[in-house]
A and B are shown apart, each in its own frame.
Chain A
Amino acid sequence: MKDHSTTLSSMQRTITRINKIDEAELFLLKKRIDFATYFVIFLIAILIIRLWFLQVHKGFDYGRLSENNRIRVLNIVAPRGNIMDQHGIPIITNRPCFNVIWIREDAPNPEIVIKRLSKILNEDISVLLDRIRASADNPRYMPLRLKEDIDWKTLVFIENNHFNLPGVRIEVLPTREYLHGDLASHLIGYLGEINKEELQESKGGIYQGGDQLGKMGIEKLQEQYLRGEKGRSLLEVDVHGFEQRQIELEDPLPGNDLYLTIDIELQKIAEEAMADKAGAVIAMDVNTGRILAMASSPPLNLQEFIGGISSKSWKSLLDNPLHPLTNKAIQGQYPPASIYKIISALAGLGEEIVTPQTVFYCTGSMPFGNRNYRCWKKNGHGAISLKRALAESCDVYFYQLGQKLNVDTLAKYAASFGLGQKTGIELENEKPGLIPTAAWKLKEYKEPWQEGESLSIIIGQGFDLVTPLQVCQMMTAIANGGIIYRPQLIERIVNIDDMIIKEFTPIADSRALVLPANLQVIRDALISAVNDEHGTGEQAKLEHITVAGKTGTAQVVHLSQNKDLADEEIPYKYRDHAWFSCFAPAEKPEIAVTVLIEHGSHGGSVAGPIAKKILEKYFNIPQAPPNTKQPKG
């Protein structure tokens, strides 16, 4: 009670304190209230004038409109942005697509109309009724789509008979036109009809049911730039749903154009070269990280996805042993095999375990523990230096290095070149690959690291897994002096007025753990690998341009029963994966190319020629007749 009275008295004090009046100031405030009053009168007068205008002046017109209130809103879908290659050559544009739509409220006798339509569209009545039922919750004035992309003849027929088809309209929608078929299909992705979840997620009423939006790849990731903005048209219709006049028209705003970093000619060559194979090809600008070509084979058939893919085709895609749904450039994980020897050599040099002059002796195999570790060359390389060991891909040299190199140290070098981690390219579901460490092994297998495993991973087998894009990124770093550029696919986004909305500049993510001198040793070795007599990458040799590269042959399974069989006799799924990764010109590198052929057997002979074709196109060299020399590991 006492507390209560003290608070009360303190309140009273406050009140007394604030009661001081400054008459002059109050007078000024009150003058401003007069002004506010006039302001209020002014604004209310505006409202009254507007009411007069609507209700008395225009009242009759509005009265008529309300009597048969038949205002229809038709959204005008904006054409999506085009997708071009780096030179502005269009890859994907739009074409008009004619759809049959149906406005329930304008159809007095739906049964008869649907029956007629079913004949005209050559579509079962139940199919049409299903579509109508699917949108039963929408207001009756909302148009719903009965059939997409009708042909010219049907269109003309419907237009000529539209008096017999009340409530039926033709809607013209821009739809995707794939100018180059399935070119770059894994990158560009496809469109599909918006689903319930996407509709709920989308904010601001940008989408309605029935809208198309990107479902995969760039179409999905750059949806916000590509989609543009809808326009709308307000129409007055009569009781039969026939258009009387247009009340208002708001034009759609076309989507922004995307300029990819892809060079369409290189992309074509890459995809043609891969036509009968499964695998991935990547060409990258070594000084910016821009992707010049990225192909994954087999490609997706984009036409199949227009208007929704059937569950049958979807299942056959899933069941296809060549996995067309995977973008193998970023989602395929393979042992890097001999390509990894680049990292092993750099780690050996960096840790000063070997020097460029260190010579080991290769007899064709090396016993370790209770196993015999073999070199791919049965008779051995004899006394061999680091440079030759890389160029000729001698396994025994690296087994000896592996005995002295700690697994975690090796992993540190690999990681600094971006292996075993996502590159951060703007595509979905990129896979990280795997570079093992002792701690990883303990965690995954509850076992400590075995020394024998070091001999496997140092030649890029065993636990090692990388994606072709990681290998290509590593090769750009070898070429450009150790800078890890984030691979980029989009060069710029340009709006309808040709103004650049977003420009993508090269992003140097990090620097590889390497000394310039050591890098030079590796580069020399890679030049030898392609250009010297015993090099494994001879198949990619060019006439006037020095190519530097490395082959790899990744074992899929270690089956002793296969070891004496010829390549063709081994079952397809047990054949080795073929790698080739290179850059050119070696003196002043511009482009890096990486090729992976699933179950392609030998890196040099299968993957090498594909890289060569891309380089020839890039440097504008006329195609040379195919090389018939014997392939090497």
Chain B
Amino acid sequence: MLHFDRRLLLNFDWAIILTVLVIAGMGLLNLYSATHSAEPYAAAFVRQLYFYLLGFAGIMVIISFDYRLFVTANYPLYITIILLLTIVLFFGNAVSDTQRWLNFGFFRLQPSEPAKLVLVITLASYYYRKDTGLGFTLKELVVPLLLTGLPFLLILRQPDLGTALMLIFIFISMTLFVKLKWSTLSVLIGACASMLPIGWLYLLKPYQKQRILTLFNPELDPMGSGYHILQSKIAIGSGMMFGKGFLKGTQVHLDFLPERHTDFAFSVWAEEWGFIGSLFFLACYFFLILMGLNIAVASRDKFGVLLAFGIVSLLFWQAFINLAMILGLLPVVGMPLPLFSYGGSSLLTTLAGIGILLNIRMRRFMTSTGD
């Protein structure tokens, strides 16, 4: 039997759970507003609620064992996810020309979502094991590059540009976080500069941007992404300072706003709750990120630091890219807003990440108590 230490409970981070609950509350309210007028989506609210309950149960499971178990479990997890990504390419359910879902009857799993978290665990374990403190050379980065590249290509094949890019962001964030040799860093910066969409998409002509995006992302509405972004901007902007009020958004209840309960969920929020509501949402999110980083700082174990940092960067980049896209700062790619967008796979993955953060937090004083 695993011995359960009372100190674990003392170190349980209630503030994080509370913040997650507040964001969850906002997300569910918003989902209700975005879907209540359309009949086929009426069930979305209930489903999302179930996923939250399932996710919290998952958190309980994840905090019950020592997170350092992930160092041993990382490759089995990695191989499982690669298998799932391969299976989904061949047997997945095709929705609008993309192969993303595995159908389990009651639930369609989108393996690319947990793949993000598994990549964080894998890179954290790898850097933890290999790091000598002297900094990585380019040669030593070949393995993590391959570990990232394989799921990246599989997800790109689906095709799902947004999620694939997310893997690159995770890789860059975590690799920059562990020490690199200066020479390695300069080479990587050169390579990254050409890879970062922010960089290259603005160098290209509009039609080239369009071409690249439509190439990988068939989800783009045939009416053109400019239309979506404009409608999203109108929705957000028309919320003005105080918003139109819950269920009172006009933009969202007409057909103008695409994907209004998934990727564009925040547009609905901003329209109905205005600048004040948006600020409150950002504050909650910022608080969650800060606490996540704080967990990384507080951990006394290098694996814990790497893992916590990886999970926070996963949360942050998804949120930032989603919001920047909705606000018309970045081109449209498929990217959910964690904890807020409708979608079981994304939600469960995010909650599992939160569970791991809590786990690291709970065991920060257990570094030498391996009895």
Contacts and interface: CB of A to CB of B under 8 A. Distances in A.
**A and B: interacting chains:** yes
Interface of A: 8, 11-16, 18-19, 21-22, 24-26, 28-30, 32-33, 36-37, 40-41, 43-44, 46-48, 50-52, 54-56, 58-63, 65-67, 69, 71, 73, 75, 139, 142, 203-208, 229, 232, 234, 247-248, 250, 253
B275 A56 contact: yes
B177 A48 contact: no
29 contacts: A11-B66, A14-B71, A18-B128, A18-B303, A21-B367, A26-B300, A26-B302, A29-B306, A36-B313, A40-B290, A43-B320, A46-B329, A50-B328, A55-B237, A55-B239, A56-B241, A56-B275, A59-B275, A62-B233, A62-B237, A62-B238, A66-B271, A71-B231, A71-B234, A203-B97, A204-B214, A205-B220, A247-B230, A250-B226
Contacts of A33: 293, 296-297, 305, 309
A14 B220 CA distance: 48
Given A12-B370, A14-B71, A54-B233, A47 B323 contact: yes
B144 to A, nearest CB: 17
B133 interface: yes
A248 B274 CA distance: 26
Interface string B313-325: 1001000100110
A138 B278 CA distance: 33
Given A16-B370, A47-B324, A54-B327, A248 B226 contact: yes
A66 B220 contact: no
B93 interface: no
Contacts of B222: 205, 207-208
Nearest to A58: B237
Contact of A50 (B274, B313, B327): B327
A21 B238 contact: no
Given A204-B214, A232-B224, 12 more contacts: A25-B302, A29-B296, A30-B297, A40-B293, A43-B320, A50-B327, A54-B233, A54-B327, A62-B237, A62-B240, A229-B210, A229-B211
B189 interface: no
B301 interface: yes
B286 interface: yes
| A-B CB proximity, top 4 nearest | A62-B237, A204-B214, A59-B240, A66-B238
Contacts of B227: 71, 73, 232, 234
Contacts of B301: 18-19, 21
A234 B223 CA distance: 10
B256 A15 contact: no
Contacts of A67: 238, 250
A409 B70 CA distance: 69
Given A32-B177, A36-B177, A51 B97 contact: no
Contacts of A8: 2
B2 A51 contact: no
Interface in B261-290: 270-271, 274-275, 278-279, 282, 286, 289-290
Contacts of B236: 51, 54-55, 62
A19 B240 contact: no
Given A40-B316, A204-B215, A59 B282 contact: no
A63 B240 contact: yes
B303 to A, nearest CB: 6
Contacts of A47: 282, 320, 323-324, 327
A65 B236 CA distance: 11
A59 B239 CA distance: 7
Nearest to B317: A43
B221 interface: yes
Contacts of A58: 237
Nearest to A60: B240
Contacts of A63: 237-238, 240
A224 to B, nearest CB: 12
B309 to A, nearest CB: 7
B270 A55 contact: yes
A14 B68 contact: yes
Nearest to B285: A44
Contacts of A66: 234-235, 237-238, 250-251, 271
A52 B328 CA distance: 13
A37 B241 CA distance: 28
Given A40-B289, A71-B230, A55 B240 contact: yes
A28 B231 contact: no
B69 interface: yes
Interface string B64-106: 0010110110000000000000000000000001000000000
A50 B266 CA distance: 14
A325 B309 CA distance: 67
B255 interface: yes
Nearest to B217: A204
Nearest to A43: B320
Contacts of A19: 68, 301, 367-368, 370
A31 to B, nearest CB: 10
